Chains A and B, each alone.
Chain A
Amino acid sequence: MPELDLLSKGLTTCQGCPMELIGRAALDTLGPRTITMTPPSCSAILTGSGDETGWGIPSVQTVLMSLPAFASGVSEALKIRGMDDVTVMGFAGDGGTFDIGLQSLSGAIERGHKAVFICYNNEAYMNTGNQRSSATTLGASTKTTPTGKKESAKNIDFMLLHTPLAYQATASVGNIPDFKRKLKKASEKDGPCFIHVLAPCPSGWKFPTSQTIEVAKLAVKSGAWLQFERENGKITINQKPADFALINDYLDAQKRFGRVTAEIRERIIAEAKGRYETLCRLAELDCLV
């Protein structure tokens, strides 16, 4: 008898969509005893409309600003019913985590509900047609910043360092085994967990669909994306950036950075270096919450 798919294959996500890959890898790790919820975003395609759905597990379509509040409710209900082995998975994009869902997320973390919040970061509101979000990188052109974004992105990982998370990690679609390992760890914790995954979007970042994984790998290699995890008040850096000069290749691989000037390039590299240095200093401490 063939095994049932936990996520349907016939989904109408774009070609080369990393979000679908993250969903698939997540269910591969968590198994059928999972309840998931998605805000209105690209991931709403997985939850579907009407009586149709892509998930083979219980799923909820929430409102954009309160996905973590839904997750806390479900998590408490499961606790009362004594179903401790069920994982609650929040599956939101960067809009639902960085901007609109932030207050709800910080509330849910503070109350300490057992849930795993996955944020797939495609660095803009991709589902509505590529508008800027606070996760958009400096210099990236979007529909609302056609000449390139003037501000640097919000660093949600550093913001959440001072919240009582049971487990916090960043991952990338370029390394699925690493993501699965982190998710496995998170699902075993008895408290709120946050996993931030880089999801290069071929249609929004404007690169060929076959390059999704390569761009994600390059982001980690160049130091534009940092791979680390926080557990028991200690930060572990998983992968050190090879060379910050590779950021130039990373920017050249994407058409959304087609108009960045040399000045902005330098600023992007300097910011990446600064982030890494801060992280290295923080990794020496073991007094985080």
Chain B
Amino acid sequence: MQKLVQQRMKMLETLPTIIGPVSVKISDVHTGAWRYRRPVIRRDDCIRCGICATYCPCGAIEKAEEGMVIDYTYCKGCGICTVECPKKAIDFPEESTFRKEGE
């Protein structure tokens, strides 16, 4: 029993110190439903500079091993990435074309 307590205490020490109250309920609205045009990255033209990720207001673009990846659950489809991309490697087709493919 004492060993378990000691173990737990050690675990606690590795956690970051709490500096104030934080809500455990994080707002999580799937804003991807707002989108009427979808940004699609052309893999061949993308140079992985990361400018789209810097300027994405939703933080929906991330750098992964295979290149830049857009999280369509949260992407609101504002189109900032398509304008800011220095290589213009992001297409911006209508969302309806994707729905038809799915059906």
Contact = CB atoms under 8 A, between A and B. Distances in A.
Interface of A: 5, 7-13, 15-18, 20-21, 24-25, 32-33, 35, 48, 51-59, 78, 83, 86, 176-177, 202, 208-214
B46 interface: no
Contact of A53 (B25, B29, B54, B74): B25
Interface in B9-67: 16, 19-23, 25-31, 34, 54-60
Contacts of B91: none
Nearest to B21: A58
Contacts of B76: 15-16
Interface of B is mostly: loop
Given A9-B60, A24-B59, A208 B79 contact: yes
A7 B55 contact: no
Interface in B47-102: 54-60, 71, 73-74, 76-80, 82-84
Nearest to A20: B57
Contacts of A176: 54-55
Interface of B: 16, 19-23, 25-31, 34, 54-60, 71, 73-74, 76-80, 82-84
13 contacts: A8-B28, A9-B58, A10-B27, A10-B74, A11-B58, A12-B27, A18-B57, A35-B19, A53-B27, A57-B19, A209-B78, A210-B80, A213-B55
A177 to B, nearest CB: 8
Contacts of B60: 9
Nearest to A35: B20
B58 to A, nearest CB: 6
B29 A11 contact: yes
Given A15-B34, A48-B27, A86 B58 contact: no
A12 B29 contact: yes
Contacts of A53: 22-23, 25-27
B25 A52 contact: yes
Given A86-B19, A209-B79, 10 more contacts: A13-B57, A48-B27, A51-B23, A52-B25, A58-B20, A59-B22, A83-B19, A176-B54, A210-B82, A211-B83
